[in-house]
Amino acid sequence: MTNIDWDALHAAAKAAMHLAYAPYSKYPVGAAALVSDGRLISGSNIENASYGLTLCAECALLGELIRGGGGRLVAFACVDGAGQKLVPCGRCRQLLFEHGAGTLVLDTPDGLRTIEEMLPQAFGPGHLTEIESKA
């Protein structure tokens, strides 16, 4: 956790936030993450008039992860329109868990936390493997 440039991660999240499409809520969100191969990726929320179709910043970030060749998330930061730290919602924590597992560290308003601390006893790909092996 000590070799992560959290300032650069927050700067990337803020830059992404400024690109958000949030005409309805007026609540832009930006997210950034460090990938295991050293890439820095980001995403912003993309709203839709049909609110249920809105994409969160974390979803956009994960699209960038997969589009860029995959990898594991190492560090993650998320900010609101004022540049303040945000904690991902439960749905987004589940999505981050899938691509970071227990090694992902999130910078939260309460300090650095692992994804396992943020989503204890998470359901993951290993559970599906267990089901297949019992069949």
Which residues are known to be catalytic? 58
Residue 108: exposure state from Cβ atoms within 10 A (0-12, 13-18, ≥19): middle
Report d(CA 89, CA 26) in Å as an integer.
Answer: 18
Provide the pairing of β-strand 105-108 with 73-79: parallel
Query: What is the SS3 assignment for 21?
Result: strand
**Residue 71 CB contacts under 8 Å (≥ 6 apart), including other chains:** 35, 36, 37, 39, 65
